[in-house]
Amino acid sequence: MKKLINDPKNVVTEAVEGFASAHADIVRASTEPVFLVRADAPSDKVGIVSGGGSGHEPLHGGFVGYGMLDAAVPGAVFTSPTPDPIVAATAAVDGGKGVLHIVKNYTGDVLNFETAADLAAADGVEVRSVIVNDDVAVQDSLYTAGRRGVAGTVLVEKIAGAAAQRGDSLDQVTAVAEKVIAQVRSMGVALTPCVVPHAGEPSFALEDDEIEIGIGIHGEPGREKIKLQPADAIVDRLLGPILDDIPFVSGDQVLLLVNGMGGTPQIELYIAYRRAAQVLAERGIEVVRSLVGNYTTSLEMQGMSLSVLKLDDELTGLWDAPVQTAALRWGR
């Protein structure tokens, strides 16, 4: 295993310290317990908190800032944070208007955020939670009951964050987040496994000429292992189940996210975007917003995921609203 780390036990704390130092104008870090919070700490709006296992950067810490998250709670690599830092982060962003937890559908995340919400409520904080479950690949996995939460989480965080930033109530912000969850679908592919620092070995096995369709962001199995195919054929395998699920129909306007898993160069992601846009156009679906790059990764895994969000005027306006985070920044 070759990684730019020191002691595997200190990977998350050292990364959080480095992140906060590099982006001191946007975030500050708590070390006991560990979480990231907006440097400007607004107190006149609904607070937005998300989090989960580390290793998916820039999710979630990279999305803390104006117009998006108010705090992010990182666990150990691919491991949910415990309730204590979630409670602390929730208290840190509570300005009296309530706090929304955005939770990916993984069993540990769901249970620990539920416990944290109960503890925060006992301290007088009004907390709501939404569960992101955008992955169409499998119904259940090693880590979930129901569908997994994957790259669509970024879109939920951006749009709900914009609603909170403009002054919406907790009920309104929750409703917007649930609307995005209902209208976004994702599916991914792995070309290679990744190596978790404390494990020191690949998280799953693929032959040199194999890929896994429908992989999860922790290396969970997907729908099938197949021989490597051209990019267009892979995109077609991912996009078909996404478009059939809601279903998306001719005349829809959508946001298309082509998300890298950490080890895939941008040149390949744009080849995938090209094909996905072609397929959508052939179906009469108009891509009016797009995002290409590494936003929900799996350490150094080679692969990608596609996410398609059905837009309307409200969601488009909230997507376009100003944002200033380490990983997303426009309009400000």
Selected catalytic residue, list 23, 56, 60, 101: 56
Q: 168-172 contacts: CB < 8 A, separation 24 or more?
A: 168/46, 169/46, 169/97, 169/98, 170/46, 170/97, 170/98, 170/99, 170/100, 170/126, 170/128
Selected catalytic residue, list 23, 60, 101, 218: 218
According to DSSP H, which parts of 56-187 are helical? 83-93, 107-122, 152-165, 170-183
Going by their DSSP bridges, the two strands 27-31 and 253-260 should be labelled as unpaired
Tokens 């907390």 correspond to 127
Q: Alpha-carbon distance 137 to 131, whole Å? A: 17
Q: Contact, 33 vs 45, CB < 8 A? A: no
Number of residues that this document lists for the chain: 332
Catalytic residue list contains 56? yes
The residues with which 31 forms a beta bridge, in sequence order, are 34
Tokens 């040199």 correspond to 208
Catalytic residue list contains 218? yes
Q: Which residues does the annotation mark as catalytic?
A: 56, 218
